[in-house]
Amino acid sequence: MAKHHLLPDQVICSTAQRARDTWEAVDKAFSDHPAATFDKRIYEADAAGILAVLQDAEPEAHTLMIVGHNPTLQDLANQLIAAGDIDQRANLHQKLPTGALVVIDFPVDRWADVHNHSGRLDRFVTPRSLGPYTA
């Protein structure tokens, strides 16, 4: 994410320890650390619940990152996306693996205006697509 300048302005993370650990590992890669909030609504939410969290995001945030859980994030991503690379969309429909990144562009000025089928899949990056990990 840092290498491709995908720095979120705001991060909303589940309160679950594994989600916090994921965010902590990602945050270390950034020189500018985005503001992060931990929202208990994400932990057991369905896709509509996480959409409500997204719609409540700070309007000043241009780029938002949600750190949460599957299958809910996969369901939400598939509901939000209406366009984008058809092969990547098919892959996302099949599986959203742990540690994957889904970047969705929305043609809106306010997060409150995001709704189902309003986004375009910009990229879908899985850990496997990055090749072997070396520390």
pLDDT of the residue at 1: 77
pLDDT of the residue at 5: 77
Is 93 inside a domain boundary? yes
What's the total number of domains in the chain? 1
Is 135 inside a domain boundary? no
pLDDT of the residue at 121: 96
- What stretches in the chain show pLDDT beneath 70? 131-135
Is 3 inside a domain boundary? no
CATH number at residue 50: 3.40.50.1240
Parent domain of 24: 10-130
Token pair listed for 117: 């089928």
pLDDT of the residue at 59: 87
Evaluate whether 44 touches 70 at the Cβ level (below 8 Å).
Answer: no
Phi-psi label, residue 38: left if phi above 0, alpha if psi -120 to 50, beta otherwise: beta
pLDDT of the residue at 126: 83
CA dihedral (120, 130, 34, 75) in degrees, to 10, reads: 40
State pTM to two decimals.
0.87
pLDDT of the residue at 38: 96
Evaluate whether 76 touches 55 at the Cβ level (below 8 Å).
Answer: no
pLDDT of the residue at 134: 47
